[in-house]
A and B are shown apart, each in its own frame.
Chain A
Amino acid sequence: MIVLAVQALDISAAIVLVTAWISLIHRRIEALVDTYAIQSGALGITAGLVAYQYQAPDIYVLAGLTIVVNAIVLPWLLRRVVRNLGVSRMVNMYASVRASALAGLAILLVSVWVVGGITPFAEVPSAGLLPISVAVLLIGFFLLITRRKAITQVVGLLVMNNGIFLAGIALTYGLGLFVELGLAANLLVLAIVARIFLERMKESFDHVDADALRALEG
């Protein structure tokens, strides 16, 4: 039975990593959001398999919430924001697509090289996924700092959260407190998105980027 969850985790990690990398090369915001939805869905299904294996009700809850909130509700909200606020649908970047794609590969190599040496312990079956999680976390961070619009920054934050989620189920199988922490992290992002949505920071949407913020620097 252990084999099932371990294999599912490996496949899921591959999907999460590839989708994280793909999110670096999208030029349209909707495509970026869709990629994020796929990534979250893969994580939610994996959490469901882990829950099935351990017969753990709280992980079932986590899996269900991940699928509902991260793979359906948040992407839907983000798409509505894009549509309703009349934001231009292109992803404005500081780094070109080609540079971003290469940076994504570099992040993966560095993560494997640096973190690969620090393998946690033999009794953790999926410990080898730690470098992958770090890579996803850092790719999300790269997305956040090289994309100019508020909405793409939020997607970057969400990808970072997925990196943590992956590490959470790979290293602890979602045991103990990380169920609650994962939910809290989601709440944070939900609150941010809701805030953008409610306050209709329409103007800020096209402009809340590092260029506009320069007024405050120094």
Chain B
Amino acid sequence: MPIPWILLVLIVPLAGAGAVAFARTRDQANAVAIAVALALGLVVAFLLQALLTLGALSSYGGLLYVDDLSGLLLLIVAVVGLASLLYSVDYLGRSGSPHEAPLPRLRRYYQLVFLFLFTMYLVAEANNLGVLWIGLEGTTLASALLVGYYQTRRAQEASWKYLILCSVGLVFALFGTLLLYVASVHVLGAGNSELNWTTLVSSGSQLDPGLVRLALVFLFVGYGTKAGLAPLHTWLPDAHSEAPTPVSALLSGALLNCAMYALIRIYAITLRIPGFLWTQRFFLIFGLLSVFLAALFLFVQRDLKRLLAYSSVENMGIIALGLAFGGAIGLFGALYHLLNHAATKTALFLVSGNLALAARTKDLQEIQGALVAAPGTGALLLLGGLALAGVPPFSMFSSELLILSAGFSQGNGVAAGLMLIALVLAFGALSWHLTRMLLGPPGHPYAPETRAVVCASLGLGVVLAVALALGLLLPDPLSQLLHGAVQVVNG
């Protein structure tokens, strides 16, 4: 009997959440965290291998369904989750770690992270759009508590703002899902699978365009809020900057992609409706707004983590533009960028955690001369910053280039031109901040570079290696996965 990897992906984090409740010491809790992180990595690897050899898998009578597009999201959540959990162990888990938490809080922290991971895997594996919605709602509940983890006033406010804004977004998305359901029932009659993505895609050409267009408005407002697309992004910088650093990495590297993934699934359905271009238009408008707003806001940031948060808004906009341009190249670029951004941004958030510890501040005005004062962290920041700014040979350069060329070659010259301007602006803002942080004399004494933090460096190494390697060469299985995912969307 084949091993049910699809189910194991969901069971492992839940089991971890149960197991960590019994941890008697901090070391035991950390051991559970490391075990869950590694187990999830392995399970997802086996699942992806099965996916690449056998093709799309489904389970539970079609309730769970994994194709190449889900595979991409599974891979992202697994890599980001692994890095973030390993980093957590040295950041707040181990005794003597900089944000050392008392055991009960540590247990609760790990439980919430495991539940957060569970809901994100559920999003990736759901076939039914209703289950997908429930998964995204679950991510809000679990992560809102993590955002408020430090229980300072600012953290609580950020957490409340995040909870309310994303809940409102999700209510709108539920309404959109309801309308999609009505359109689907009209074609298929009431059965049990009208909301299954596989069913909707195969009957897409018959869906009523008027109703789908109305549904789309609500779905975009809803999931767009969660994906951090401007002008619905206002929760994002607060939540990212107030959350503990490993959680910021999870939010930016994994969660935003889950919401974007929901939009991509909807997009795939509407691509089947003949002559229906509204999804591309929505992506274009939200994408352009996001890249421009974020590029401008990048200049005026004064907080390291808010800087990275606005850069996430920018990159979500780039992905939306890739989807708007469409075609095989645009889609490939968008999905490739999803992966690149996840790895690069996770690495940068973790580096920024180290830097903030060394410099004893997150204030961009006060962090100077990091290359001299903390050479190791400074070098990593330089690498990650270059990768994020989209400098070749880093992978984000390749995906941005693909998206731009898709835009220019497929009659979206104006939009692609605007995107190029925004990219240049963002590049300028990022390099300006980086230069100030890295060069010059350090303005104040830095803490000695963090002791040999094994797990944190391991986690960091994983994502940084992925981010760098992707730009140099795209490994065969990965390229197969990406091309498969493009096929899934494009049909």
Q: Measuring CB to CB, which residues of chain A are less than 8 angstroms from any residue of chain B?
A: 115, 117-118, 120-121, 123-124, 133-134, 137, 141, 144, 150, 153, 157, 160-161, 163-164, 167-168, 171-172, 175-178, 180-181, 184-185, 188-189, 191-192, 201, 203-204, 208, 212-213, 215-218
Let me know if B488 is at the binding interface, CB within 8 A.
no
24 contacts between A and B (CB under 8 A): A118-B211, A118-B214, A120-B182, A121-B208, A124-B186, A150-B160, A153-B164, A157-B164, A157-B171, A161-B171, A163-B175, A167-B178, A171-B178, A176-B192, A176-B194, A177-B181, A180-B134, A181-B134, A184-B133, A184-B137, A188-B140, A188-B141, A201-B156, A216-B158
Which A-B residue pairs are the 6 nearest by beta carbons? A216-B238, A177-B130, A118-B210, A160-B171, A171-B182, A121-B186
**Which A residues touch B211, using CB under 8 A?**
118, 120
A137 touches B214 (CB 8 A): no
9 more CB-based (< 8 A) A-B contacts, given A177-B128, A216-B157: A118-B210, A157-B164, A164-B171, A167-B178, A176-B192, A177-B195, A180-B130, A185-B137, A208-B157
Q: Measuring CB to CB, which residues of chain B are less than 8 angstroms from any residue of chain A?
A: 128, 130, 133-134, 137, 140-141, 153-154, 156-158, 160-161, 163-164, 167-168, 170-172, 174-175, 177-178, 181-183, 185-186, 190, 192, 194-195, 208, 210-211, 213-214, 234, 237-238, 242, 300, 302
B167 touches A188 (CB 8 A): yes
Bound complex: CA of A216 vs CA of B235, how far in Å?
10
**Which B residues touch A215, using CB under 8 A?**
154, 157
With A181-B134, A213-B161 known as contacts, the answer to whether A176 contacts B181 (CB < 8 A) is yes
**Which B residues touch A168, using CB under 8 A?**
178
**Which B residues touch A157, using CB under 8 A?**
164, 167-168, 171
Bound complex: CA of A13 vs CA of B398, how far in Å?
54
Bound complex: CA of A124 vs CA of B179, how far in Å?
13
A184 touches B182 (CB 8 A): no
Residue of A nearest to B186 (CB): A121
Bound complex: CA of A188 vs CA of B242, how far in Å?
23
A172 touches B157 (CB 8 A): no
Bound complex: CA of A118 vs CA of B213, how far in Å?
10
**Which A residues touch B171, using CB under 8 A?**
137, 157, 160-161, 164, 185
**Which A residues touch B177, using CB under 8 A?**
181
B161 touches A216 (CB 8 A): yes
A209 nearest CB across to chain B (Å)? 10
**Which B residues touch A172, using CB under 8 A?**
178, 181-182, 185, 190
Residue of A nearest to B160 (CB): A208
**Which B residues touch A153, using CB under 8 A?**
164
Residue of A nearest to B242 (CB): A216
**Which B residues touch A208, using CB under 8 A?**
157, 160
A48 nearest CB across to chain B (Å)? 20
**Which B residues touch A175, using CB under 8 A?**
190
**Which B residues touch A184, using CB under 8 A?**
133-134, 137
**Which B residues touch A123, using CB under 8 A?**
186
**Which A residues touch B157, using CB under 8 A?**
204, 208, 212-213, 215-216
Bound complex: CA of A153 vs CA of B163, how far in Å?
11
B130 touches A216 (CB 8 A): no
Residue of B nearest to A122 (CB): B186
Bound complex: CA of A176 vs CA of B242, how far in Å?
40
Bound complex: CA of A157 vs CA of B165, how far in Å?
10
B134 touches A216 (CB 8 A): no
Residue of B nearest to A121 (CB): B186
**Which A residues touch B237, using CB under 8 A?**
216
Bound complex: CA of A100 vs CA of B66, how far in Å?
47
B159 nearest CB across to chain A (Å)? 9
Residue of B nearest to A124 (CB): B182
Bound complex: CA of A134 vs CA of B182, how far in Å?
15
B484 nearest CB across to chain A (Å)? 28
**Which A residues touch B302, using CB under 8 A?**
218
**Which A residues touch B130, using CB under 8 A?**
177-178, 180-181
**Which B residues touch A120, using CB under 8 A?**
182-183, 186, 208, 211
Bound complex: CA of A178 vs CA of B134, how far in Å?
12
**Which A residues touch B163, using CB under 8 A?**
192
Residue of B nearest to A207 (CB): B157
Bound complex: CA of A161 vs CA of B173, how far in Å?
11
Residue of A nearest to B210 (CB): A118
Bound complex: CA of A168 vs CA of B150, how far in Å?
39
B167 touches A204 (CB 8 A): no
Residue from the set B157, B170, B210 with the largest chain A CB neighbour count within 10 Å: B157
Bound complex: CA of A196 vs CA of B427, how far in Å?
42
Bound complex: CA of A185 vs CA of B161, how far in Å?
18
